[in-house]
Structure 1
């Protein structure tokens, strides 16, 4: 970014102001940087360090000609500085903009009103979320703001040009700039910054006054040092902050004291489940907090922390596929194991749990509703059920990341609770339609508010009396069926769902496994409300959706011989097996057995030439998530493969029909896109069947993984953009594709480059 050639005046040359000057110098700022500070020695030190060009202990002599004034003084000194500035502001450049760095915005806004008579349109209130226990200009750090957030809290009439210039200022320093209302800012900061500092100061002070304080500090472990480090911050500064943000800090302290009292009662009573619920919820929330705050996948967030860069796969052409592997646990069953285990009476032991982003979102949501959950650890999870009516209101919105399954199933489950809840998700999920579950739930008596177009977030009003209905689904969807059955658990009378084509029956099977009677006749299933669930062990089979990428990889690659172990072969999920066999794949089911009510087998697949087919319409719902990979099989089959009746693919994590068609076209594969399907013309043979190219996965993990295996029959390298969300459904995917014989390397590009 080009740094403006302007004169910048920094008022207050401490750590924050000095680091801003240092960051601007490092960014190549070509204008003058001036500083005002009551300490002449600090000004001299700033000049000596090359951070500023000149300075003064008085403000008025420095204002003339300045185009940006940054107020970096303590909060309680802000009113006096603004009053002095108001008296001489006319000497500044006509385009002058004022901003500040204070951590309590309401108080500073009040100071502005007192000094200027109003908040001037040229004043952009701001707060960099960065700092250090060190102080003074000597501690100035040019990297202090890099990869940190700066929150701007402009007024409704703040000049947009002024906001843009302040945004440019902080972006030049490497910061991420966000906007927020003043009141919201002060509430958030009271909880995330001010309260932790208050507690650290109090804890260290309490221990420092003990008779055994020397022993306490001498033998303190790293955790004590980490938590109390912030108690070394500037006491005067924090006194001013607590005084200025008093109401928000006291509200945060009230919440903390209430939580501490609950924990104290649990310790006194020896209530292990209550203690575990608190500790486990806190432990996992700590790992999950980036997604809770930023509403992004926390595994994707980790990937994106690399200098703001985006994860790309580069997959070399060719390769072999052989060996024995086991893919992660089934996502659909993992979701349901947590949901039903939480509502059951007793302790549910889960093995094979998928430790991917979507399933972890479900697990975390139940922790937020008071369920004690141990794990996951190597696929093992222990759920301490609270019964059908034992869930507690969450403290805030339930964030489910990218998990469409979780949001739709939660809608039904939460419609029957006594409390209100809000369901939110990441940017991708907020584009997906939720009317398909909200509308029938409303017919049952639920009250649900959605955003425009029936999209998330969903606000579910609790305490509504639900009544069973008979519902004919207009489109085959296991998620809608499961949503209504879960709501039916809480409804008066029978809830009956008729599906136009068979869909996954994991919910019905698992309900029966937990002792809840579910009936089925033909295309209709039903249950009666008012029953109870009893805890039962669950062994999650490997996910056939994840296995599909490797089934197709082996099916299209000459010489391949691969075994996928312990894969779920539920009759409502084996569309991919049926379709591949119709295309001529050499695929055998070995070691068939039943585990926890779900059929499983080892899938043994060898290469055989494939041919194009018309995909039977009755197989489409049974393979809806597997089609991105099946499209790659079609591209390598002899002749044309035709798909119809798959409009559901338009409303997945991306428009998968469009995304796959665009990607196939980029590789040179002939295809014709239709509203509800696609025709793909494959070349067959054993040589390369298409070229290489660059693919936009649109942030959809299945698109990214499909084009990864496509490289096996490509003539050149395939680059796939935006792959961080692969961890959403398939942790360990990269390691497994390398293990079976593909050449894949990861790299990070500038986002959008």
Structure 2
């Protein structure tokens, strides 16, 4: 057989297998050099996606070439470069690192002889880049204008032509190294190729690529090979391998990779790998010493941070939730029901959960938290403090153990602090971080990064903070300059809040803990006071004089026990559910009834809801009670503006209650609702109109024409449907989604709510609990 292999008889077969593609192929002829796993997989992906008119290959293993042609993958192949390369406009080097220079010699000779154009695109799939560029410079002297070094971060345990998979690169990253000598059109065309086969393309400097890969790929492979060698060298090695658990198998799976390939890589990236090994040795010695010293707290901190970081970076990079919910586009399919009954426990208060982590981390000593809300938002706060060096054990069924580092013990995070979708986390942390010695960056998911942050940044700047928000609208990411770079501490101020906001107030009070002098916040209306209460519980003096709240800088916090009560904002959905339905009675146990949070109870009582409180007591400095609510004949009201800050989060579900009331309900003074996870006034109005409710949006509120029926002889008549059916878009706002779920109790047809995955930010398990009391919610992940 000759070196060159071609197959005219396969032409018809190839045409039948070519996909329909309305776009012309990117390339006339692609030449893949090396039909191992990566080279053959890329060739198959190019073929299946119609990226090139012709596909040829060079490989020393002639049987692989023959089989590839028989399979219809290649138009031609050879073990000799010159036999098939002529006319190629893209050459892909999929050979071992040490063989690259020899291939460059072949390419240069082909260019010199006119077989290849001098602007032919040359790329590779090797896992080191600096040595590839040096090899090209050695051969060509001046780097070819078509040279585009690249590295697909993909692989498999098996190797060779038979292990190929056209989908190997789908949703995997490909790193392209831009060179100043490269033609921009070559980079653009190569990017299009990788995107065509399903990869995600990013760019990186060659030196940085090699350093990163030394830590994330080369070091793990080296350690896996070394661990297997270590165990194999033991006298009782048979027993060691016989009884090896899953962790050993998982960790050492990559030691089944090609030794020759990794031999070459370890030498090719020698400097970066030795540096990574040295760094690893330091960490190894540290953990060795922790075990010798039996330092339980430090070891738990290390293990806990590592476990959390493993999940955290995946969520941060993809901007996805922390909890195990299919990422986006979950929906509720709700069948109307009309009665809810039972006694249920509501998850812990989100606001208090946030603050327990913050103050517990800054305290001296250990803080034990019970009732912690394991929802998205609170988990974002927890992760942020782990990133800043705080050891936190848990959460475990709502229990946390926080090993406080003291007022000056936080450490700079090595990455931006990712807040997910939590506005509370970002705004309160801005106050804490503005006072720290180190620089920091706060970022969040796409939704959070659209929400206004100047409302906290502006007053913090009055205290001397250096904060840069993003864009004209003052949104996240927030870049905060540390005090060491500013040169002086924050200064206490008197700040007159234009709008009552617990988040803004808390942000400034927290910043005031480190400020020189007194920080005083004057609020136009009462807002929730969890920060003031918890500061006092941690032993930090707070002065409250009417609507003036003050703290002196320079104090300390002392750790203790914090019991988080049930969240009244979450309870509100079930209060309204029982009130608007027929023959219903529902008891919600040990709900927080902080007087700055009971606006929802006060408003429902003004609407003549049948609500009673029992078993009133205090938990962790917060008043709690069992709340029982029964079917009620609600009436429309003009909501007093002084109650608005006390029920700001509950208005979406109160709008549902107002729709079921007899007569008109008018809300004013609620501009704050426009800057929540969504514009809750506009979004709720759109949804209510979709379901057939007449409502009017105003500058600072909403007017709802209730469709309730007047009761006869004192009998509640909540049988009549108020809402129709239809599709509701929640705009990924958890409270919007849950509010329209409650509306299903007075609906005539099925309600479908899109974008409900964010319910986990405040109320994990909402649908299950709702179904437990008589509702009928099906969670649909089919579009996720």
TM over 0.5: yes
Q: Which one of 460, 463, 481 corresponds to residue 480 of structure 2?
A: 460
Q: Using the alignment, how far apart are the partners of 2:188 and 2:663 within structure 1?
A: 55
Does the 8 Å CA contact 1:9/1:69 hold for their aligned counterparts? yes
- Tell whether 2:397 aligns with 1:378: yes
Aligned residue for 2:629, secondary structure, equals: strand
Q: Using the alignment, how far apart are the partners of 2:394 and 2:371 within structure 1?
A: 12
- What corresponds to 2:776 in structure 1? 743
TM-superposed CA distance for 1:350, in Å, is 0.7
Deviates more, 1:385-394 or 1:109-118: 109-118
Structure 1 residues 206, 720: CA separation in 2 closer, same or farther (over 3 Å shift)? same
- What corresponds to 2:326 in structure 1? 303
Q: Which one of 373, 388, 410 corresponds to residue 391 of structure 1?
A: 410
TM-superposed CA distance for 1:423, in Å, is 1.9
Does the 8 Å CA contact 2:723/2:743 hold for their aligned counterparts? no
Aligned residue for 1:336, secondary structure, equals: helix
Q: Using the alignment, how far apart are the partners of 1:165 and 1:721 within structure 2?
A: 38
Aligned residue for 2:625, secondary structure, equals: strand
Structure 1 residues 384, 618: CA separation in 2 closer, same or farther (over 3 Å shift)? same
Q: Using the alignment, how far apart are the partners of 1:720 and 1:120 within structure 2?
A: 56
1:293-332 aligned at under 5 Å gives the runs 293-299=317-323, 302-304=325-327, 310-332=329-351
- What corresponds to 2:125 in structure 1? 101
- What corresponds to 1:62 in structure 2? 84
- What corresponds to 1:16 in structure 2? 38
- Pairs aligned (count): 746
TM-superposed CA distance for 1:335, in Å, is 0.9
Structure 1 residues 33, 378: CA separation in 2 closer, same or farther (over 3 Å shift)? same
Q: Which one of 662, 667, 692 corresponds to residue 691 of structure 2?
A: 667
Q: Which one of 539, 544, 554 corresponds to residue 568 of structure 2?
A: 544
Deviates more, 1:215-224 or 1:589-598: 215-224
1:709-720 aligned at under 5 Å gives the runs 709-720=742-753
- What corresponds to 1:401 in structure 2? 420
Aligned residue for 1:422, secondary structure, equals: strand
TM-score by length of 2: 0.88
- What corresponds to 2:736 in structure 1? 703
Structure 1 residues 471-494: Cα deviation after superposition (integer angstroms, max 9, x where no partner): 112221111111111111112221
Structure 1 residues 77, 621: CA separation in 2 closer, same or farther (over 3 Å shift)? farther
Note the residue ranges of structure 2 that are not aligned, 5 or more in a row.
Answer: 1-18, 710-718
Structure 1 residues 185, 321: CA separation in 2 closer, same or farther (over 3 Å shift)? farther
- What corresponds to 2:11 in structure 1? none
Deviates more, 1:554-563 or 1:255-264: 255-264
TM-superposed CA distance for 1:303, in Å, is 0.6
Q: Using the alignment, how far apart are the partners of 1:479 and 1:244 within structure 2?
A: 53
Does the 8 Å CA contact 2:569/2:649 hold for their aligned counterparts? yes
Structure 1 residues 243, 350: CA separation in 2 closer, same or farther (over 3 Å shift)? same
Aligned residue for 2:555, secondary structure, equals: coil
Q: Using the alignment, how far apart are the partners of 1:37 and 1:350 within structure 2?
A: 63
- What corresponds to 2:715 in structure 1? none
TM-superposed CA distance for 1:177, in Å, is 4.6
TM-superposed CA distance for 1:12, in Å, is 1.9
Q: Using the alignment, how far apart are the partners of 1:38 and 1:218 within structure 2?
A: 38
- What corresponds to 1:231 in structure 2? 255
Q: Which one of 195, 217, 220 corresponds to residue 244 of structure 2?
A: 220
Q: Using the alignment, how far apart are the partners of 2:179 and 2:748 within structure 1?
A: 56
Q: Using the alignment, how far apart are the partners of 2:682 and 2:387 within structure 1?
A: 37
Q: Using the alignment, how far apart are the partners of 1:68 and 1:319 within structure 2?
A: 66
Q: Using the alignment, how far apart are the partners of 1:119 and 1:25 within structure 2?
A: 29
1:371-450 aligned at under 5 Å gives the runs 371-450=390-469
TM-superposed CA distance for 1:656, in Å, is 2.1
- What corresponds to 1:264 in structure 2? 288
Structure 1 residues 633-675: Cα deviation after superposition (integer angstroms, max 9, x where no partner): 2232233322222222222222222322232233333222233
Structure 1 residues 679, 123: CA separation in 2 closer, same or farther (over 3 Å shift)? farther
Does the 8 Å CA contact 1:18/1:51 hold for their aligned counterparts? no
TM-superposed CA distance for 1:572, in Å, is 0.9
Q: Using the alignment, how far apart are the partners of 1:121 and 1:697 within structure 2?
A: 51
CA-based RMSD: 2.9
Note the residue ranges of structure 1 that are not aligned, 5 or more in a row.
Answer: none
TM-superposed CA distance for 1:561, in Å, is 1.7
Q: Using the alignment, how far apart are the partners of 1:719 and 1:9 within structure 2?
A: 52
TM-superposed CA distance for 1:513, in Å, is 0.7
- What corresponds to 2:266 in structure 1? 242
Structure 1 residues 478-523: Cα deviation after superposition (integer angstroms, max 9, x where no partner): 1111111111111222111111111111111011111111110010
Q: Using the alignment, how far apart are the partners of 2:180 and 2:501 within structure 1?
A: 44
TM-superposed CA distance for 1:158, in Å, is 7.0
Does the 8 Å CA contact 1:296/1:427 hold for their aligned counterparts? no
- Tell whether 2:587 aligns with 1:563: yes
Q: Using the alignment, how far apart are the partners of 2:99 and 2:414 within structure 1?
A: 36
Deviates more, 1:287-296 or 1:540-549: 287-296
Q: Which one of 576, 586, 594 corresponds to residue 610 of structure 2?
A: 586
TM-superposed CA distance for 1:734, in Å, is 2.0
- Tell whether 2:542 aligns with 1:518: yes
Q: Using the alignment, how far apart are the partners of 2:696 and 2:406 within structure 1?
A: 51
Does the 8 Å CA contact 2:337/2:774 hold for their aligned counterparts? no
Q: Using the alignment, how far apart are the partners of 1:118 and 1:449 within structure 2?
A: 43
Structure 1 residues 53-104: Cα deviation after superposition (integer angstroms, max 9, x where no partner): 4322234443455565443333343344345445547767999765543333
Greater Rg by CA? 2
Aligned residue for 1:303, secondary structure, equals: coil
Deviates more, 1:709-718 or 1:376-385: 709-718
Q: Using the alignment, how far apart are the partners of 2:589 and 2:249 within structure 1?
A: 47
Structure 1 residues 268, 500: CA separation in 2 closer, same or farther (over 3 Å shift)? same
Q: Using the alignment, how far apart are the partners of 1:203 and 1:518 within structure 2?
A: 56
Structure 1 residues 141-195: Cα deviation after superposition (integer angstroms, max 9, x where no partner): 3443344344445568977776665555445544445555555544443333222
Structure 1 residues 365-417: Cα deviation after superposition (integer angstroms, max 9, x where no partner): 22222222111111111111222222223333222211211111112222222
TM-score by length of 1: 0.91
Structure 1 residues 657, 324: CA separation in 2 closer, same or farther (over 3 Å shift)? same
Structure 1 residues 43, 446: CA separation in 2 closer, same or farther (over 3 Å shift)? same
TM-superposed CA distance for 1:246, in Å, is 4.1
Does the 8 Å CA contact 2:119/2:144 hold for their aligned counterparts? no
Aligned residue for 2:603, secondary structure, equals: helix
Does the 8 Å CA contact 2:56/2:85 hold for their aligned counterparts? no
Q: Using the alignment, how far apart are the partners of 2:746 and 2:360 within structure 1?
A: 44
- What corresponds to 1:41 in structure 2? 63
